[in-house]
Homo-oligomer: A and B are copies of this chain.
């Protein structure tokens, strides 16, 4: 007979997601953040960084498939990919599935996220546990890492935590300019950009900042139930390809649990209030 326990994440000061948990497996303070690993009743094992629900074994594909495959399928021939953040390995796992991709740099700042993901989340960290030759894992500052490259990557994916703590610098115009330089002339950048319901000013700020650097910015979304209000945005900044006009490739790896060819287009179809949010008019 164990006492019933819950964990609540406050997406903003007014709304929280509360999950029943059956156990706390690990807890530590790294030089960068506070890490907790808990078992939840609904979504299985879950990683929490600085109090924010990060990924769980039962919902992670709703996030990882969508952050990886939407930009990779829009690009006609993505070969070199950079992932910044993503220390749980889930995004890298999905990128590895694309045969056309020949080289993946994965750069997370916190070695402990790599270590704990391999220990506690083997299904998410499978690419870290058995890395294919094309996956190169780095530990360090993603901003400094990206600065080394010019006209090099086809796709850059920013799989970061919220813009407080270690992820903060990844939400700046300075960083977007580095990423722009590191991308080839038809390169695509995608970044997770929080909730267009609960974090509207942030979504707008990312849209504006990317728009100052890239010729084209489009928002798309996925449903991620462990994130605030579940509707989760990804901001795509592109030098050439437009997801609303250009056809995606058809050779997507199979099977998928979330992504499909129709979602590639419909994920960019936004309700009116989200369009307004991107213009700086907030509903909440």
Chain A contacts to B: CB under 8 angstroms:
6, 8, 12-20, 40-43, 58-59, 62, 197-198, 223, 225, 229-231, 255-260, 262-263, 265-266, 269, 271-273, 283-284
A159 shortest CB reach to chain B, Å: 19
A16 touches B15 (CB 8 A): no
A230 to B232, CA, bound (A): 11
**A20 CB contacts on chain B under 8 angstroms:** 13-15
Report which of B15, B59, B62, B258 forms a contact with A18, defined as CB distance below 8 A: B15
B15 touches A284 (CB 8 A): no
A93 shortest CB reach to chain B, Å: 17
A42 touches B14 (CB 8 A): yes
A225 to B11, CA, bound (A): 12
**A13 CB contacts on chain B under 8 angstroms:** 20, 41
Report which of B15, B262, B271 forms a contact with A19, defined as CB distance below 8 A: B15
A214 to B8, CA, bound (A): 42
**Nearest-neighbor residue (CB-CB) of A19 within chain B:** B15
Task: Please tell me how many copies of the chain the complex holds.
Answer: 2
**A259 CB contacts on chain B under 8 angstroms:** 271-272
**A42 CB contacts on chain B under 8 angstroms:** 12, 14-15, 198, 284
Report which of B12, B43, B271, B273 forms a contact with A284, defined as CB distance below 8 A: B43
A258 to B197, CA, bound (A): 12
**Nearest-neighbor residue (CB-CB) of A230 within chain B:** B230
**A43 CB contacts on chain B under 8 angstroms:** 15, 284
A256 touches B230 (CB 8 A): no
B284 touches A272 (CB 8 A): no
A186 to B197, CA, bound (A): 37
**A255 CB contacts on chain B under 8 angstroms:** 272
Q: What are 23 A-B pairs with beta-carbon distances under 8 A?
A: A13-B20, A13-B41, A14-B40, A14-B41, A15-B20, A15-B42, A16-B18, A16-B19, A58-B283, A59-B284, A62-B271, A197-B225, A223-B231, A230-B231, A231-B231, A255-B272, A256-B272, A257-B272, A257-B283, A259-B271, A260-B272, A262-B269, A266-B266
A257 to B275, CA, bound (A): 10
A197 to B263, CA, bound (A): 17
A230-B231, A260-B271 known; A16+B6 contact, CB < 8 A: yes
A259 to B231, CA, bound (A): 16
Report which of B15, B223, B271 forms a contact with A229, defined as CB distance below 8 A: B223
